[in-house]
Amino acid sequence: MENRKDAAEPLAPAGRNVIIVEFQGHIRNPILVVESKLEKSMPAEQLLDDNVLLEELRKGSSEAVEALFERFHGKIYGLAMSILKNESDAEEATQDVFLTVFQKAHTFKGNSALYSWIYRICVNACLMRLRGKRRQETVSIEEFMPVFTDEGMHKSPVEDWSKEVERKMLDKELGKVIKKFTDELSEKYRVVFVLSDVEGLSNEETAQILGLTVPAVKSRLHRARLYLREQLGRYLQEGKTA
Amino acid sequence: MNCKELVYLLGEYIDGSMEEQLRSDLDDHISMCDSCTNFMVTYDRTRLISRQVQLDEIPGEFRERLRSFLADKAREHHQGIEKYRKMAAEEQRKQVEALLRAFREGRLSPSLSLLFDSHRDRCEKCGAFLRSLNGGEETKPVPPEIEEHLAEFFEALPPGEEPFRS
């Protein structure tokens, strides 16, 4: 009896609690967590859970601050840059977003996902910065909308370049070209496009983040895609003739 | 259904939110119109390849600067909260101390007296503690749970009523 107990005893220092935590999904093996009674520290894996992360943030855990930073700094900066298109503005906005998240961690209700709450804070921080600034020069989206005859037919025949696009360009190059085109759009279309088609959020999530209705998101997204389709088509056509 | 209408409705056609009748009208048009077939295919391809866009990467120097700035700020913020919590706890402790002193000296306001009596009968822990005070006996440390209960008496005080008689 004694021996069996000894064999099962995990190697833990006396006076400490030992908890076995099993994670589902990408971490296969159960992880042995030795929790000190004196200095409590949260294992990084647990901080992947939104609720645990927020709870730890509220308590002021420095590991939680680090985990939040690691998880979101790239996305927040990228999103800020795609709205503001200016490095120093994007840096300031990114910093503001994190400070707001710390200060408002206790107000997060969990009605939406954590990332969607943070994206919303980010969009608001960026729009605050855009306010009062002169609108950046952008292309007129109307020039790229499809053209029809009075009878509602395509004015000129539409070609299928969908197979060509990946034959001609590497993914990375393709990404750059699309980014260049969408950077020329006004921020009203760009931000919807980035959240929905680049980040892959649902229309409902995008609407919630931007404070728009779902039909408004759909209509902006549709126009952004029509614009981009036309730009890509022209780009490929020009490439072909060159 | 013509090409213009089809293009207008393409977003809903592709995301699957379109109602069946309209969808079949669109299908009919697409099956007869090469331009619309090509338009739809290139529209959908545009949507799919947009996932290749890489958002701007955060500059390394800024990332590290931000990391340490946030660590400092979070610490400051936490210290601020802790300081406030300590102040609030200290305030509550003093309030309850004053309350118990007034109780021993029979200076509680009428409402507080009532609250005290009814709570003493209802709450086992507080009741035992309050009875152990034995009237005029000197101050005793108040267990946290009992302190919480007693502090709530102040919340229940009718507006304008002073808690103690001088």
Enter the ipTM.
0.75
DSSP string covering A128-184: HHHTTSPPPP---GGGGS--B-TTS-BSSPPP--HHHHHHHS-HHHHHHHHHHHHHT
**pLDDT at residue A180 greater than cutoff 50:** yes
**pLDDT at residue B134 greater than cutoff 70:** no
**Residues of chain A with pLDDT > 70: what percent?**
77
For testing contact with chain B, the best of A55, A65, A199 (most B CBs within 10 A): A65
Size of interface A-B (CB pairs under 8 A): 149
Search chain A and give the residue with CA nearest B61: A91
> What CATH number was assigned to the domain covering residues A141-241?
1.10.10.10
Closest CA to A182 of A116, A226, A122, A131: A226
B2 touches chain A (CB under 8 A): yes
- How would CATH label the architecture of A51-130? Orthogonal Bundle (1.10)
CA distances from A148 to A156, A220, B72, B95 (A): 8, 20, 59, 79
Instruction: Report the pLDDT value the prediction gives residue A34, as an integer from 0 to 100.
Output: 37
CA distances from A95 to A45, A88, A92, B62 (A): 25, 11, 5, 10
Q: What is the DSSP letter of B164?
A: B
For B39, counting Cβ atoms within 10 Å of its Cβ (0-12 exposed, 13-18 middle, 19+ buried), the class is buried
Search chain A and give the residue with CA nearest B81: A60
Residue A15 CA neighbour count, 13 Å, CB half: 3
Search chain A and give the residue with CA nearest B50: A198
A53 touches chain B (CB under 8 A): no
B52 touches chain A (CB under 8 A): yes
**pLDDT at residue A42 greater than cutoff 70:** no
Taking all residues of chain A, what is their mean pLDDT, rounded to a whole number?
Answer: 80
A197-221 pLDDT per residue, tens: 999 999 999 999 999 999 999 999 9
**CB nearest B55 (choices: A66, A78, A99):** A78
Domain map (residue ranges) of chain B: 3-51, 60-156
